A and B are shown apart, each in its own frame.
Chain A
Amino acid sequence: MENIRQVTFAQPSFFKRIKGMLGVDFYRLFHTPLLYIFLVIAALIPALVSMGGEGEATGMFTNVWQIIAANNPLYVISDMGEYANMNMVFIFGGIMVSIFIGHDYKSGYVKQLFTTHAKKQDYMISKTLLGAFSMACMCVTYLIGGVLSGAFTGLPFAVNAGSLLCAIVGKMIMSLGWASLYTFINIIFRSKFGISIALCFVLGTGIPVVGAAALIGNTPALNIFLYGSSVYACLSANFVSVIVCLACSGVWAVIYNVLGTLTLNKRDVY
């Protein structure tokens, strides 16, 4: 009581807030086994889908790069070879984001965070960027795993390099949209990350879009969905495909971030 200070306020800038939050999230990301486990899983998936029991090709693919992306944007799937590609990274990315955010709630970190000057919007942005980075890294290890698996199985490497690059870049860009969706789902289910994992898995597989394609046909209109644009980034992709991925991923990232922020603001945190 004898030593009361003059109370002064200083508005922490958005940059200062997000820098601190991202710093903490990335520190945790690199100092827990979670990221490394999922990077290894991403590297192993191509081997699992492309190699048979004797280390020979399963016959699902006729070219190494089909392990990365389908030849054409096919939303209606006729065989597993058209489905099993780098898009599977987004399924595992959803599980990783769910575990990460679930741990935020379980440990009480979220409680600690929101009692400071941290804004709910910052939390959404930070987790989205973290998830996007993780999935982009998983795309890279998937690519390495895909090339090695293709080399082992003796599949041909012939490809239009420009289209391949557009497909890979397009899929990596889609990580942002997927990460925002998964963050939003986890904001809703919080510490019940079992439900979040299940929902992320279902949406990550693209089952709703595949189902819609079965009903309405193989139409580019499905590119408005995250899974649609992820499929659109294929081996016949071009610069326009990258722009479509950028637009779709960006728009959904904004939508889910706004919805997530509203949810956090309207609901009790803890």
Chain B
Amino acid sequence: MNAIEIRNLTKNFGQKQALSGLNMTVPVGAIYGFIGENGSGKSTTEKILCGLLVPNGGSIRLFGRDYKDADVRAKIGVLIEQPGCFPNYSIWNNMMLQAANLGIQNAKAEIAKVLKLVRMEGAAGNKFKNCSLGMKQRIGIAFALLGNPELLVLDEPINGLDADGMRIMRDVLRDVTRNYGCTVVISSHILGELEKIATHYGIVRGGKMIAEMTAEELNANCRTYIALKTKNTEEAQALLERKFARVEKDASEYIRIYDTVKAEDMVAYLYNELDIAVTEIRTDKVGLEEYYIDLMKEGR
């Protein structure tokens, strides 16, 4: 059974078509990285999924059921942009109100549990308006976790966070998926961070899903390359371009050779055949970010 099955989803905002027949499949238990440019339809899809926007067409099934059913909705935890909190109330009071809305029986214990999970147990008495962006995002995750959801939908939860905030958020998300075993849909522009936690990916462009894959499939799609430095980069690159199909210079002045040759064989080959002395060499893979950029370029 899939946690989410979206078929031919369409949504118009006046004359503008935000989604044009989007399909999406998220297996139960997946951490689904939802990727796309600004305005590609990620947030619109998530807002429809959460019942905030009304679609113009298509079907959405959550755990095999209609997404509008109240009992299905009771199993969804959501963080869209920022959590909807009353700024003058404390974090604790805001969470108590959300718990009351959800009809949670043992609210105090449940809130204490989720606040601990998002590393906010010491800040429960703070007023929401006095919280930093990183704290607000973690409160949003805590909100979403109330009521033991089966599906978490998180829209850009790591945007705007500093390095430490991102690390905490990544740990929180890992703990959430480990401890709760729930399915997570997470959209983000920060692909490097997403790559560290996602098990599945969906790439959306122009309101359509252009690729869906598992992390393993992504790894298989991402080509290995050898990155090297020499004393004379320009000359070496010119020589290498004559011998290999794809040679590029990256931003750090490394020459990248996209080939399956081993690094040590490459050093020997370059020295013996081309008289190029290598000063640094390593083998690497094209990451999600580069893969995504390549994919976007192909579509243009």
Residues of A within 8 A of B (CB): 1-5, 7, 9-12, 16-17, 19-21, 23-24, 27-28, 31, 103, 107-119, 265-270
The residue in A20, A108, A115 that gathers the most chain B C-beta atoms within 10 A of its C-beta is: A115
CB-based contact A119/B84 at 8 Å: no
CB-based contact B29/A4 at 8 Å: yes
Closest to B3 in A: A7
Top 3 A-B residue pairs of the complex, sorted by shortest distance between their CB atoms:
A108-B84, A112-B84, A3-B181
Q: A17 CA to B104 CA in the complex, in Å?
A: 11
Q: A267 CA to B54 CA in the complex, in Å?
A: 6
Q: A108 CA to B98 CA in the complex, in Å?
A: 12
Residues of B within 8 A of A (CB): 1, 28-31, 47, 50-54, 63, 65, 69-76, 78, 80-87, 89, 97-98, 100-103, 143, 147, 150, 177-182, 199
- Decide yes or no: A12 and B52 within 8 Å by CB, A5-B150, A270-B47 being known contacts: no
- Decide yes or no: A11 and B50 within 8 Å by CB, A1-B199, A109-B86 being known contacts: no
Chain B residues with Cβ below 8 Å from A270 are 47, 52-53, 80
Chain A residues with Cβ below 8 Å from B199 are 1
CB-based contact A111/B80 at 8 Å: yes
Chain B residues with Cβ below 8 Å from A19 are 103
Chain A residues with Cβ below 8 Å from B150 are 5, 7
- Decide yes or no: A20 and B50 within 8 Å by CB, A108-B82, A108-B85, A111-B80 being known contacts: no
The residue in B30, B70, B85, B102 that gathers the most chain A C-beta atoms within 10 A of its C-beta is: B70
CB-based contact B87/A116 at 8 Å: no
Q: A116 CA to B74 CA in the complex, in Å?
A: 6
Contact with B84, one of A109, A267, A268 (Cβ below 8 angstroms): A109
Q: A119 CA to B53 CA in the complex, in Å?
A: 14
Chain A residues with Cβ below 8 Å from B70 are 11-12, 17, 117, 119
CB-based contact B82/A117 at 8 Å: no
Chain B residues with Cβ below 8 Å from A116 are 73-74, 76, 101-102, 147
Could you list some 13 contacts between A and B, CB below 8 A?
A: A1-B30, A1-B177, A12-B71, A12-B103, A27-B100, A107-B86, A111-B80, A113-B84, A115-B50, A115-B78, A116-B101, A117-B71, A270-B53
CB-based contact B71/A11 at 8 Å: yes
Closest-CB distance, B258 to chain A (whole angstroms):
32
Chain B residues with Cβ below 8 Å from A12 are 70-71, 74, 103
CB-based contact B100/A23 at 8 Å: yes
CB-based contact A115/B102 at 8 Å: no
